[in-house]
Structure 1
């Protein structure tokens, strides 16, 4: 028995482990600490008569908010370990493929803004679209996008005599109160010694007319306020970390134009912790029929266990307002719902999203649920949809979204998904469900190479798999430049539902133009759900074939017609989209293309067809879809079959097995002789790609089916390319190419010396080299499954006095790994095998250089198995 020995060299680098503080949350109920009426009331002049204005950029306000939030950065909350993040079972890594329906029905320019962030949002009513940005508003005619009022400064909605109305500070919100047929608007006022919440309600359903308006004295800096409409109140939450961050305003009194509506405020004792102290609950905004009578106002938010919270969860709160005795009102956290694990902290700051051509990154706004949290009541089945950004890495953002449901008792999560179909960051999201249960989600997009900050949306049909946005992504506007000089983006946007039909989505968001950010206002709808036929086509038969055509037949199902899609060489991989119609052409490659390389070759009511334009000796796959003409509703999955034209054989190459230093086994599978007998078959190989029978080859019989072949006379540690081949009277055909590398040979001649001098230098100096990056030579291997690779180096390292200055002989190459920035990492390098049976007393000698301060170890392992 041979004594085969392998040496394994390991470096292990350690670093201190920091603990994270975990907060405990209770389900305590609190009573109001603020009960007030407004300090001022007025009725505005008609907005259609307000002076037009250019964008009023209140840079003082933006600077103040940045300073306020930066002061609260928490040095004890660290970004997550992205390498070891738990598996996300709801991650969607492919785009939806259902056609988005009519596409964009409206897509017109909104207002520009020079503020960072612009806080772009808006909402749709019966006849108008009302858009607000920092620090102007504009009202558009819904039908054609023409201006009905504005752009004018936000504070022109308020009478100038109202306390705080001279400020025009921004953070605007506008909502359509559909049950009252009114509009709700708010902004804060920060420029004076006291801070106010300014709220206005239109006196009629015409937003270009007059408005009731009030000024409320609230806690200082009521930042990032968000509103939701509920039957008994206008509910509000703010980013006010010292407290007093949850409010409700007396809706019935405000709709009636009363001068003294009550405001009730609370300090939330169960506010989630965040790395920067920035957090705001979202009040639920009730679209459609009201929640069941007596249902308290609802709030929802997220908590992230990477930011000193006990778990990744959704938290639900209730504010039970008592307008008769306001002091009896209560606020409490009523549910904590575990969600799929996520990371909401990118790098411990607001520099998160990459852009092309600049080092400036954008704020992902990842510590809060994004506006709105929409509530719906479908005949007693209550729904909530909401979304937020999560960190896929320190510079890439994906979107997490949820649908919650309640019929009685508690809320439950019916679906949750992470939309991450490619390497593009998606953030600054908004989500809504229409009257028929379809969901639309809008968001900003950007990446480091070619996607400038722009606007997109996707959707979910009512028949989609759980957690999947199956309606294809659509771009509303592509950015053309990157934002520089500021990291703030958003901070929010909005999708609302057209009350005139209950199904059309209206969406506004910002994008980056040539020199500043602009906004777009768009509307779109999704195709209705359809009922497909119940019985698919069947019984495919190739009636005849030539080198370039074939006649086929089939048995019909129970649709109005059948659509046949063909693909050359492999199975059809894209389905027709219900709602779409397709043009067929019996010449392959000229009909409608579905996905990539899938062509419609038949669309009709018959049971046979002649397909032309084919290639000789090629396998063609067919998918049959019965459908109803009235709505082009296709039955899936398809009935599938395949057949070949006459020509050279059709075959595949078997995966390489039994690989040694000089031999291996492969083979092939001949699925069709394509009209002529196989006279010889085998495998061929070479050290360069695309081998043929002019290179090394075997002969392994005749006929179709599976066969095996042995490759012999190979060289150790050499890469080979292999293909199966088969020959008939039409010629020789080859299977797919397989690639493998022979095993290392065993060292049997001694003394043996390895100096690495013939190896190609990789030289990353003192950087950590990722696992799987560096290929060594002479049967030395950087092993996989560890953290870092050893590098091939020569001369002195950049580590000064700590690293080696040369190889042990004073020149030549050596292998090297750096510990300075590779904390808690391990790197394995493995030698060739040695046959020591000819030696009576084997001795291993190696030279090494190691420098460290009690922070690592260098180990040698010897294995005989």
Structure 2
């Protein structure tokens, strides 16, 4: 059944520009219905949207946020400065190229027209879905072969009408909702001058090439850098909001998951934070054990040698009962952001530096309930060295526990810097045994950008990673006048065994600009079964 035609969507958007967008509940939460929703009977039966590549290459804007940092240069007291060989080895699984320049699948060939790729992916029962800024593909996870794609991202909204169909703007996220065995895919649509939209699709089955329920949620300010987490009571989505070029603060939203799983009308409930806080991540569920009944979603941002922590609990029946706790500051070992939050990552054979994205926490904020305790892991890029002018980028990672307390515990923290290679753009997760895997980009003045990961066995000494492994060493560097890199990478857990990690990130097969490729690889830590 179709709930909105193109004309209805257009009239609704016009009406929204004349009327208040959100209803205000007593506690300040804003409640907004999806502007439109419908269903797509089958992605396989949908004509792919035409490639909008016109020969023009463009660099996607990095909308920087005011990052809070230590006021002076500090020695990183949490640094792990040596390589460690851990007790448990890693077992390699699949390894294959994802969507990138020249990648060819059932729907044709992909040509890079933008940078960076915003590499995201998730693993389901039988498939792996990867999305880069303008295209996605579905892979058979046992063979690594593309079974669908690459197609333009807005193919998923064919026939939907409005900017979700006509725009293909990226900043994508792919999730696998293992509670319901469904896929969740989203990207924003940001037409010039607004209003702006988050376009969300929820699959009707565990087959990403089948039917989908589709939604469009509207925003007045520019909803940059959306990040999503699956939770039992909602899909939690966070944004960095911008009014023009001015940062307007983070926006924390919950989408009505139960309604979206059935294709029913859905609303969002959102809180707007002030510019005192930077980019916020929502907790994202891993594992078969759900959070305790009624547990809020946990949210985190980077502060000045601290982490800011919130709890958001949504009430769909009575939004006046929806709550967002006051921010709690969790002190951590003092740090400076890598590259002072900007661009300084060196590469072999060129003076061109790469962006650090060190002004924010990196996706995901991975949550797991072990029964006797709950855990969150997250990471960001910091500066390690002897002076401010003599530093290199390293990955700072944390594990938080005691989440239900007024002030959660920073159970362990460490900066992984076993040598002077630059490490950044990390993504971290835990398997069902409590083992940790952290994937990231690597580069130096003598090294092309590559992809590595390090692990921690649950019985290893606290605050340490071990067994650094190279997933792929790139053969090229990004050349003059293109600094944009990554924006994010993604570490995900296989829902079938809850042991196998799947990681995706970008690399260059040769020197150049706008010629990036991506890699998808799986592995597990020996002993997890």
User: Which SS does the other structure have where 1:171 is aligned?
Assistant: coil
Matched, 1:237 2:238: yes
Q: Which residue of 2 aligns with 1:153?
A: 152
1:295 CA displacement: 1.1
1:267 matches 2:264: no
| Separation (CA, whole Å) in 2 of partners of 1:414 and 1:129 | 32
* Pairing 1:679-698 to 2, within 5 Å after superposition: none
Q: Distance in 2 between matches of 1:399 and 1:32?
A: 36
- The partner residue of 1:369 within 349, 355, 361 is 361
- Counterpart contact for 1:56–1:136, Cα < 8 Å: no
Structure 2 residue corresponding to 1:439, chosen from 432, 436, 439: 436
Q: Which residue of 2 aligns with 1:108?
A: 96
Per the TM alignment, residue 220 of structure 1 is displaced from its structure 2 partner at its CA by 2.4
Tell me how far 1:99 sits from its aligned partner: 6.9
The equivalent residue for 2:220 is 219
Relative to its length, the structure with more strand (as a share) is 2
List alignment gaps of at least 5 residues for structure 2: 1-24, 101-111, 242-246
The counterpart of 1:247, out of the listed 236, 240, 253, is 253
1:153-192, aligned counterparts within 5 Å?
Answer: 153-165=152-164, 166-192=166-192
- Residue 336 (structure 1) aligned with residue 329 (structure 2): yes
Cα offset, 1:479, TM superposition: 1.0
Cα-to-partner distance string for 1:234-271 (whole Å, 9 max, x where unaligned): 1011111314611111111101111x211111111474
Aligned pairs (5 A) from 1:7-406: 31-51=27-47, 65-66=61-62, 69=64, 81-82=72-73, 85-88=74-77, 90-98=78-86, 101=89, 103-112=91-100, 113-165=112-164, 166-192=166-192, 193-240=194-241, 241-243=247-249, 245-258=251-264, 260-269=265-274, 271-272=276-277, 279-288=278-287, 289-304=289-304, 312-344=305-337, 346-347=339-340, 350-392=342-384, 394=389, 396-406=392-402
Which residue does 1:501 correspond to in 2? 497
Name stretches of at least 5 consecutive residues in structure 1 with no aligned partner: 1-28, 273-278, 305-311, 531-865
Structure 2 equivalent of residue 20 of structure 1 = none
Instruction: Output the CA distance in 1 between the equivalents of 2:400 and 2:517.
Output: 34
| 2: CA distance, partners of 1:339 / 1:184 | 33
Q: State the distance in 1 between where 2:206 and 2:253 align.
A: 25
| Alignment partners' CA distance in 2, 1:191 and 1:199 | 17
- 2:9 match: none
The alignment's TM-score, normalised by the length of structure 2, stands at 0.85
The 5 Å alignment of 1:416-431 reads 416-431=413-428
Deviation at residue 185 of structure 1 after TM alignment: 0.8
Task: State TM-score, norm by structure 1.
Answer: 0.53
- For 2:199 and 2:235, locate their aligned partners in 1 and report how far apart those are by CA, in whole Å: 13
**Structure 1 match to 2:7:** none
Task: Judge conservation of contact 2:355–2:484 (CA < 8 Å) in 1.
Answer: yes
Between the aligned partners of 1:408 and 1:199, the Cα distance in structure 2 is 30
Report the 3-state secondary structure (helix = DSSP H, G, I; strand = E; otherwise coil) of the residue aligned with 1:180: coil
Q: How many residues in Structure 1 have an aligned counterpart in Structure 2?
A: 477
Match of 2:448, SS? Answer: coil
Q: Is the 8 A contact 1:114 1:517 kept in 2?
A: no
Alignment of 1:391-790 (within 5 A): 391-392=383-384, 394=389, 396-406=392-402, 409=405, 410-449=407-446, 451-470=447-466, 472-484=467-479, 485-514=481-510, 515=512, 516-528=515-527
Q: How far 1:44 moved relative to its partner?
A: 1.9
Q: Which structure has the greater CA radius of gyration?
A: 1
User: How many angstroms does 1:223 deviate by?
Assistant: 0.5
**Alpha-carbon distance, 1:206 to partner:** 0.7
1:333 is displaced (CA, Å) by 3.0
In the alignment, the residues of structure 1 paired with residue 374 and residue 435 of structure 2 have an alpha-carbon distance, to the nearest angstrom, of 15
Q: What SS does the corresponding residue of 1:48 show, helix, strand or coil? A: coil
Q: CA deviation at 1:180?
A: 0.7
Question: 2-side partners of 1:316 and 1:95: how far apart?
Answer: 31
Question: SS where residue 481 of structure 1 aligns?
Answer: coil
Describe the shift of the 1:344–1:108 C-alpha distance in structure 2 as closer, same or farther (beyond 3 A): same
1:403 positional shift? 0.7
RMSD: 2.5
Q: Which has the higher contact order (CA 8 A, sep 6+)?
A: 2
Cα displacement (A) at 1:51 = 4.5
> How has the CA–CA distance of structure 1 residues 87 and 498 changed in structure 2, closer, same or farther, with 3 Å as cutoff?
closer
Native 8 Å contact 1:58 1:135 kept in 2: no
Compared with structure 1, are the counterparts of its residues 58 and 129 closer, same or farther at alpha carbon in structure 2 (3 Å cutoff)? farther
Residues 59, 237 of structure 1: alpha-carbon distance in 2 compared, 3 angstrom cutoff: farther
